[in-house]
Amino acid sequence: MTTANARAIFGMNEPFKATTIERRDLAANDVLIEIKYCGICHSDIHHVRGEWRKETYPLVPGHEIAGIVAVVGGEVTKHKVGDRVGVGCMVGSCGECDNCRKGLEQYCAKGNTMTYGGVDRYGKQTYGGYSTSIVVPEYFVLKIPEGVELDVAAPLLCAGITTFSPLRHWGAGPGKKVAVVGLGGLGHMAVKLAHAMGAEVTLLSHSPNKKDDALRLGADHYYATGDPETFKQLARSFDLIINTVSAKLDVDAYLSLLVTDGTLVNVGAPAEPLSVNAFSLIGARRSFAGSLIGGIPETQEMLDFCAAHHLGADIEVISADKIDEAYERVLKSDVRYRFVIDISTMAGEGK
């Protein structure tokens, strides 16, 4: 076993504390990664605030991990020591069900093993990337291509794939009008990716202050959702809407913005249930859908797509003692557009 420095919470809504955690000895197919950067996803905040379920403590969040391979198990063939790699939201799945066979491990029939707050194949709780190292089966370790720096790559492992997957699945591309709701971590990647895929992109924001950023990131149009005129003006406009908002919103109002056969895909995961009026769907054969991260093959495809299009996340790098502050800023929608922890600020702490 190796010991890693980490930041954990020991109870709901408590501040982060420095601690140490054990990482298991490598199995033949495991990789030990020295973590360099870890993004802060709003899902980390939902977990820390106990908004989705009862958590097990200590909780070490972090599923936007970028680092360097430090040691490989005896049968590892996909990675070698020194490789630049990433780990996203999953570190295991059954590998045998129909979904796993199709590379859709996120929808594993037996449930995938989450990078943190999950239970691994040894029955141990998983700890995430707010730590100096992690041990992961090689299959769940992604290659970060040359040309994408590790700090701007980290958020691609969740925010990138979570928006890439539905954009691809619902055919974002030339001739398609795509709206993105919310300009945060996921939203800003959705704008960059949809633009790179060739779609006409509109950003819908509850903030009046993000227009310049949205246009710079690749949006063709920007509308403030606080203005009731927006919904009249944009009625029946979009083929696809990606909702990235972390809070409850008026689904019917957004459905009214879809053309006939259009789809509203929810990737935002608010604690409260969302309600839908059936008439919002049946009046124009619209669909209301959801999407969870992406499978391992598609995550690698997304990273390669980002390298080819010179894309990374827009980030603000913070030290490990600023995590609580960063959470407060995310909650105020004051993030431009992903906080990333510089893990070197955790190294060298006393054991």
User: What are the residues binding ligand NAP (CB under 6 A)?
Assistant: 41-43, 46, 158-159, 162, 182-187, 205-207, 210, 244-247, 249, 267-270, 291-293, 330, 333, 335
251 near Zn ion (CB under 5 A): no
Partner interacting with residue 39 (select from ligand NAP, Zn ion, none; CB below 5-8 Å by kind): none
Instruction: Find the shortest distance in angstroms from Cβ 189 to ligand NAP.
Output: 8
Closest CA relative to residue 244, chosen from 275, 265, 218, 219: 265
- Rounded CA-CA distance 54/47 in Å is 9
Torsion angle of alpha carbons 313, 318, 322, 325, nearest 10°?
-40
**Quick one: which segment of 13-21, 130-138, 157-165, 190-198 binds Zn ion (CB under 5 A)?**
157-165
Instruction: Find the shortest distance in angstroms from Cβ 220 to ligand NAP.
Output: 16
The residue with its CB nearest to Zn ion is 41
**Quick one: which segment of 38-46, 53-61, 75-83, 228-236 binds Zn ion (CB under 5 A)?**
38-46
299 near Zn ion (CB under 5 A): no
Partner interacting with residue 133 (select from Zn ion, ligand NAP, none; CB below 5-8 Å by kind): none
Closest CA relative to residue 326, chosen from 16, 58, 8: 16
Instruction: Find the shortest distance in angstroms from Cβ 89 to Zn ion.
Output: 6
Instruction: Find the shortest distance in angstroms from Cβ 40 to Zn ion.
Output: 9
Partner interacting with residue 182 (select from Zn ion, ligand NAP, none; CB below 5-8 Å by kind): ligand NAP
HEC letters along 77-95:
CCCCCCCEEEECCEEECCC
Q: Which is nearer to ligand NAP, 72 or 194 (CB)?
A: 194
Q: Which is nearer to ligand NAP, 26 or 292 (CB)?
A: 292
Instruction: Find the shortest distance in angstroms from Cβ 297 to ligand NAP.
Output: 16
Q: Which is nearer to ligand NAP, 131 or 244 (CB)?
A: 244
- Rounded CA-CA distance 45/323 in Å is 10
Q: Which two tokens stand for residue 241?
A: 């809407």
158 near Zn ion (CB under 5 A): yes
Instruction: Find the shortest distance in angstroms from Cβ 152 to ligand NAP.
Output: 15
Q: Which is nearer to Zn ion, 62 or 262 (CB)?
A: 62
Q: Which is nearer to Zn ion, 284 or 317 (CB)?
A: 317
In which residue are the tokens 């927006």 written? Answer: 230
Partner interacting with residue 31 (select from ligand NAP, Zn ion, none; CB below 5-8 Å by kind): none
Q: How far from 332 is each of 60, 119, 320, 327, CA to CA, in Å?
A: 23, 32, 20, 9
Using DSSP, state whether 3 is helix, strand or coil. Answer: strand
Q: Which two tokens stand for residue 160?
A: 């990138």
Partner interacting with residue 66 (select from Zn ion, ligand NAP, none; CB below 5-8 Å by kind): none
Selected binder of Zn ion within 4, 31, 41, 100 (CB under 5 A): 41
Give, for 329, the enclosing helix (H) or strand (E). helix 323-331
- With 0-12 CB in 10 A as exposed, 13-18 as middle and 19+ as buried, what is 333? middle
Partner interacting with residue 205 (select from ligand NAP, Zn ion, none; CB below 5-8 Å by kind): ligand NAP
Q: How far from 72 is each of 84, 103, 136, 255, CA to CA, in Å?
A: 13, 23, 10, 49
Per-residue b or e along 38-59, where b marks 16 or more CB atoms closer than 10 Å to that residue's CB? bbbbbbbbbbbeebeeebeebb
- With 0-12 CB in 10 A as exposed, 13-18 as middle and 19+ as buried, what is 13? exposed
Is residue 152 within 8 A of residue 313, CB to CB? The reply is yes
Instruction: Find the shortest distance in angstroms from Cβ 262 to Zn ion.
Output: 26
Partner interacting with residue 267 (select from ligand NAP, Zn ion, none; CB below 5-8 Å by kind): ligand NAP
Is residue 126 within 8 A of residue 65, CB to CB? The reply is no
191 near Zn ion (CB under 5 A): no
The residues that touch Zn ion, with contacts defined as CB under 5 A, are: 41, 43, 158
